[in-house]
Structure 1
Amino acid sequence: MGYQLKNEQLIVDIAEQGHYRGTRFDWSGFITGVTLRQGNHSFCVPESPTPGLGTGGEGLCNEFGIADPIGYEETQPGEMFPKLGVGLLTRGDEAAYQFYKQYPVVPFRQEVIQDSASELSYTIYPQECRGYAARLEKRVRLEDHRLIIDYNLHNEGSKTISTTEYNHNFLGMDQRGIGPGYTLKFPFELEPEVDEEGSMDHMLFQGREIHWSGRQESWFYFRLRGAAQAYKPQGWIWDLFHSESRAGVREISTYTVDSIAVWGEKHVISPEIFIRLHVAPGEIYSWSRVYEFYKA
């Protein structure tokens, strides 16, 4: 059945434990739906509209170590390495780590407590692996029009934890396809680094904003050059708005940004804001992701 958080402004659906069993995304606090009561607007969509395709992402789900999994380089084939929020994964061969690959996994033990109608808490317990051990605490809560995800990462091992974390943010307003009407903006001038030419033919970069001149018909991915240096905390990191529905969502977190990427398909757009984690043994690193949903 999963869990549901509610207040006077928002309804948030969170998957039950075991709903997602892949080895990419954090298993805890897997947010599959957000509804803004004013106008009954929805925001979350699946990574792929075709069941079985993609890596199983949906809504607001986060990932640790997409390019720098903890301890992978020092792990031999047949040995395990930790994937935060997931479990101990087994390296199969000499190939580089691939975030989209399904690895054999021994899941971390996790507990969930619904503290109130508007708050839910997770604890993911450590399991030692060649000197690495981390306890992850996550709290999902609602305050007015805001959805807040608080993280506490405790390094309980003997080795430093050095990796990245981001939320994939699989978004699409009221299930509307990506195209004219959408605007994605950032609080700095945009300089995109494109992975594949031709995937962004309908995307218009205008100063700090991205618009669409036609329907998006293919996947796209780009990084924003110099984003960590260009971004200065000023109330929000990104803002996605749909002019016809007049519904929008923005991230107003205040952590230090490491890098920014944007991925999407014809039905989904995902601003990805990365942070850098460097946690010495015995230390705790805390951060929060804050989303504000609104009707203009």
Structure 2
Amino acid sequence: MRGLQPDATTRASATRVSEAPVLRIANRHVSALVCLPDAERGYYRGTRFDWGGVVRDLRSRGHRYVSEWQPRHDPLRHDGLTGPADEFTQIGYERARPGQEFLKIGVGTLRKFSDHPYDRFRLYEIVDPGIWETTAERDRVGFRHRLLTDEYGYDYRKTLRLTDAPGLRIEYTLKNLGPAPLMGHVYNHNFFTPDRMATGPDTSIHFPFRPEGTWREAYDSVALTPDGVAFSRPLNPGESVFMGDLHGQDPATPGYGFSLRNLRTGAGVRASGSGQLSHMVFWACPTAACLEPYIPFRVFPGETGVWHIDYELLV
């Protein structure tokens, strides 16, 4: 796989969505289109999110839970993807000098181009993309990403499996093969769009805890409730809301959970995950409302980290 250059946006973005390789998996209740990592034709080729396990379409019982939420698809845009999308925070960026490499798990080693702070919204040059392998069965697909450099090494495995709930389960293992510890946070952005929900009063969000946090601005469109988030009006084109420190009153609560539902059609998602929840980020625009649970990880050389996320598809 060839590395991407930061100035390659115009050429690479010309690839049509229909040309991006995908696998279709299904069981009795759920069907999904899962994108395959591909440096030339892949649906997502940005450097923010893990390339493995991007879901382009997810359907069950006449409802659609994942769809395009942006007006135009750009495979090199930092958030040019759909469905459950994992991001590992950068490793080694702060101590690297300009021109040296740092690590993004699920992407590869990237080149630091300046002394500016890391910017997840820009495209970095991929120096070492690692090796991707994909395996598939009727109702599941597995991704394996291996990378080994003088400083970093890992064997990262991620399996998406459709369940009879109906739902989707994502299982992760991260084995450290290198000399340096792998430490940071991992979260799933959860770009779910139940029946192409328009973000507003028909958007229902609930937590199994009393939420607290600070809004980035004094919004007139959204507020915390005793057990969730509520919108008082639809979001306008170009408008967004953000809370970067969403949490419960008890910081020691293991695992996490939330539900997102389109009240107009009844379709929604109930998510739960393993691991110790650090905090959540909440971001919404007119076409998506995303809960992003941050989980810390610390995997020392020779050790393996294991975690999972369960999504129940609601009607």
TM-score by shorter chain over 0.5: yes
Partner of 1:92: 113
- Unaligned segments of structure 2, at least 5 residues: 1-20
Contact 2:197/2:262, CA 8 A, preserved across alignment: no
- Once the 2 structures are TM-superposed, how far is the Cα of residue 176 of structure 1 from its aligned partner? 2.5
Percent identity reads 26
Partner of 1:51: 73
Contact 1:44/1:172, CA 8 A, preserved across alignment: yes
Contact 2:198/2:234, CA 8 A, preserved across alignment: yes
Q: Any idea what the Cα deviations from partners look like across 1:112-159, whole Å, max 9, x if unmatched?
A: 011x21111111012214x22111011111121121111110001111
Contact 2:147/2:154, CA 8 A, preserved across alignment: yes
For residue 151 of structure 1, the aligned residue among 150, 166, 172 is 172
Partner of 2:287: 267
Which deviates more from structure 2 when the two are superposed, residues 44-53 or residues 102-111? 44-53
Give distance in 2, aligned partners of 1:51 and 1:29. 18
Partner of 2:7: none
Say whether residues 1:14 and 2:34 are aligned partners: yes
Say whether residues 1:180 and 2:201 are aligned partners: yes
Q: CA RMSD in A?
A: 1.8
Partner of 2:248: 227
Q: Any idea what the Cα deviations from partners look like across 1:24-78, whole Å, max 9, x if unmatched?
A: 1101111122111x2x11122445323346631322111110xxx1111111111
Which deviates more from structure 2 when the two are superposed, residues 41-50 or residues 13-22? 41-50
Contact 1:29/1:140, CA 8 A, preserved across alignment: yes
For residue 110 of structure 1, the aligned residue among 132, 153, 172 is 132
Aligned AA (2:300): A
Contact 1:156/1:281, CA 8 A, preserved across alignment: yes
Helix, strand or coil for the counterpart of 2:195? Answer: helix
Helix, strand or coil for the counterpart of 1:174? Answer: helix
Q: What stretches of structure 1 move > 6 A for 4+ residues in a row? A: none
Partner of 2:156: 136
Partner of 2:222: 203
Q: Any idea what the Cα deviations from partners look like across 1:205-240, whole Å, max 9, x if unmatched?
A: 221122222111211110344438357358x61001
Give distance in 2, aligned partners of 1:230 and 1:12. 35
Aligned length: 285
Contact 2:280/2:291, CA 8 A, preserved across alignment: yes
Aligned AA (1:126): L
Going from structure 1 to structure 2, the CA distance change for 1:134 and 1:163 (only over 3 Å counts) comes to same
Say whether residues 1:30 and 2:49 are aligned partners: no
Partner of 2:5: none
Partner of 1:287: 307
For residue 253 of structure 1, the aligned residue among 252, 273, 296 is 273
Partner of 2:233: 214
Helix, strand or coil for the counterpart of 2:98? Answer: coil
Partner of 1:4: 24
Give distance in 1, aligned partners of 2:242 and 2:69. 14
Going from structure 1 to structure 2, the CA distance change for 1:79 and 1:54 (only over 3 Å counts) comes to closer
Going from structure 1 to structure 2, the CA distance change for 1:219 and 1:45 (only over 3 Å counts) comes to farther
Give distance in 2, aligned partners of 1:47 and 1:76. 37
